[in-house]
Amino acid sequence: MQGSNPERTILINAGNNSNYQSLMAAVEYKYIVAGLDRSGFDAIGLGVWDAALGLDTVTAVAAGSPTDIICANVEGFVPFLRFNKAAGKVLVTSVIDPKLIELFKLKKVVVSDPIKAISRLQREIKHDIFILILHAQGERIHELLAQISGVDLVIDGETGRIEKKTLEVYGKSVARNNFGGKYVSYVDLIQDDRKSHLQVSQPVLSRVSAKTVAEDPEIKILVSQYEEERRLFIKKEQERRRKAAMKHRKPVNLYLGSGWCGSCHGEIEKKWSESHHAQAIKSLEKKKREFDLECLTCHVTGLGDKSAVGGFVSLEASSKMVGVQCEACHGPGGKHAQSPLKTKMKLVTEKNCRICHNHDTDPDFSFARDYKKVDHGKDIKDAK
């Protein structure tokens, strides 16, 4: 950070910098880590969204990054960093809750017991101040923190939210400031004369100015390198998909487009055509991103679905598959349209919505509430 005093400050990024569902996730992660390094960060945590990229990808990025990516309970990462500061020796580490790895079904990521890893560091590495980046969710934060002591500050690496004050959890101060890099917050260490130990101040929050960051010459270079890499990626990916689509001789099923569905489900189609889902491509056009595969994934229908042909490939090749159409929720309908009574469409599940309404794009998504907005009203039964 500009104007900060290296004698006194440590810049920590808690992790979860990747959106592993994005097509270019690995490339993005590489550039984000490079950007953090250029911005002067001293340590980067490993979050579950990062781990979901595949450990090979993340360790390769870590190997190429001057700023270390730390994690004490996943092999292949630097387990801790120690900084000699005016206030003393500061030990910084990061752990991931194995329960989170289970939740994300990351079978290939081996995590050891975070409590044991923390205790070992506390025992073996001399330090005056201990800062822990904790990747755990909900009740698990409490369960884990109840089992450790001697932590001066916990940074909640999972919550995509910010709180102006640290929370007290089992006597530990927990800071939350993970808001997609849009904020930085800092704490001061206060010497408490009476108790003769260090205390952590309340975090001071300030918004990162996107404009200032974008104007930084080094960041500018990174962005243009990224844009170039993205352009090449898109070109290659489109070519690969075109070839794959041609190879697919025996289609299991076929995407038809909402026009076809409308020929039997007219009422539903009419109502749907006035919905946000139908307009999803327009939102990209407004942002001049309608060519961008990374955005298109969730704003079109059938992109990347290998189980059927006819889904979105590119604007030129499949212009009628734009927007979030019937088949984005109900699945490809070719077989169903041929024999509707014999081939039932699958039921729409929460998982289905969450492919697009994820914690990045729609943190407030609620299946129970939002389902009612898209089920066409239970009274509609118009198929003849």
* Site for ligand HEC contains 277 (CB under 6 A): yes
Judge residue 27's burial from the number of C-beta atoms within 10 Å of its C-beta, 0-12 exposed, 13-18 middle, 19 or more buried: middle
Closer Cβ to ligand HEC, 188 or 267, answer by number: 267
Nearest to 58 by CA among 87, 94, 91, 83: 94
8 A C-beta contact, residue 164 and residue 180: no
Contact flag: residue 247 with ligand HEC (CB under 6 A): no
Q: Give the contacts of 125 (CB within 8 A, at least 6 positions apart).
A: 80, 82, 91
Cβ 75 to ligand HEC, closest distance in Å?
30
> Per CB under 6 A, which region of 64-72, 140-148, 156-164, 292-300 contacts ligand HEC?
292-300
* Alpha-carbon gap, residue 141 to 199, rounded angstroms: 21
- Rounded-to-integer distance, Cα 279 and Cα 151, Å: 50
Dig out the tokens for 51 from the structure: 């781990």
Q: Which two tokens stand for residue 191?
A: 């010497």
Q: Which of 299, 309, 312, 318 binds ligand HEC (CB under 6 A)?
A: 299
Binding-site member from 260, 293, 311, 314 for ligand HEC (CB under 6 A): 260
- Find the binder of ligand HEC among 206, 263, 307, 319 (CB under 6 A): 263
- C-alpha 187/C-alpha 166 separation (Å) is 10
Asked if 294 touches ligand HEC (CB under 6 A), the answer is yes
- Which single residue brings its beta carbon nearest to ligand HEC? 333
> Does 359 help bind ligand HEC (rule: CB under 6 A)?
no
Please tell me the count of residues contacting ligand HEC according to CB under 6 A.
60
Nearest to 85 by CA among 131, 133, 128, 36: 128
Q: Which residues does 263 contact at the CB level (< 8 Å), separation at least 6?
A: none
Compute CA distances 382 → 261, 262, 269, 289, whole Å. Answer: 11, 10, 10, 36
Q: Considering only the stretches 80-88, 182-190, 237-245, 288-296, report the one whose residues sit in contact with ligand HEC under the rule CB under 6 A.
A: 288-296
Calculate the alpha carbon distances from 209 to 6, 19, 38, 180 in Å.
22, 22, 16, 13
| CA–CA separation, 213 and 51 (whole Å) | 26
Return the range that interacts with ligand HEC (CB under 6 A); candidates 146-154, 185-193, 241-249, 295-303: 295-303
32 binds ligand HEC (CB under 6 A): no
Tell me whether residue 240 or residue 381 sits nearer to ligand HEC (CB atom).
Answer: 381
Judge residue 80's burial from the number of C-beta atoms within 10 Å of its C-beta, 0-12 exposed, 13-18 middle, 19 or more buried.
Answer: buried
Q: Counting contacts by CB under 6 A, is residue 330 touching ligand HEC?
A: yes
- Among 258, 311, 312, 314, which residue sits at the site for ligand HEC (rule: CB under 6 A)? 258
Identify the residue among 71, 261, 309, 322 touching ligand HEC (CB under 6 A): 261
71 near ligand HEC, rule: CB under 6 A: no
Number of alpha carbons in the 13 Å side-chain half-sphere of residue 371 = 12
CB of 30 to ligand HEC, least distance (A): 17
Smallest gap from residue 332 Cβ to ligand HEC (A): 7
Nearer to ligand HEC, 59 or 358 (CB): 358
Give the separation between CA 174 and CA 168, rounded to whole angstroms.
6
- Find the farthest-apart pair of alpha carbons in the chain and give their distance in angstroms, rounded: 81
**Does 197 sit near ligand HEC (CB under 6 A)?**
no
Does residue number 374 form part of the binding site for ligand HEC (CB under 6 A)?
Answer: yes
What are the structure tokens assigned to 154, written together?
Answer: 């916990």
Region of 145-153, 154-162, 308-316, 345-353 interacting with ligand HEC (CB under 6 A): 345-353
Closest separation in Å from C-beta 265 to ligand HEC: 4
329 belongs to the binding site for ligand HEC (CB under 6 A): yes
Enumerate binding residues for ligand HEC (CB under 6 A). Answer: 21, 256, 258, 260-265, 268-269, 272, 276-277, 279-280, 283-284, 287, 289, 292, 294-295, 297-299, 324-330, 333, 336-337, 340-341, 344-345, 347-348, 352-353, 355-358, 361-362, 370-371, 373-376, 378, 380-381, 383
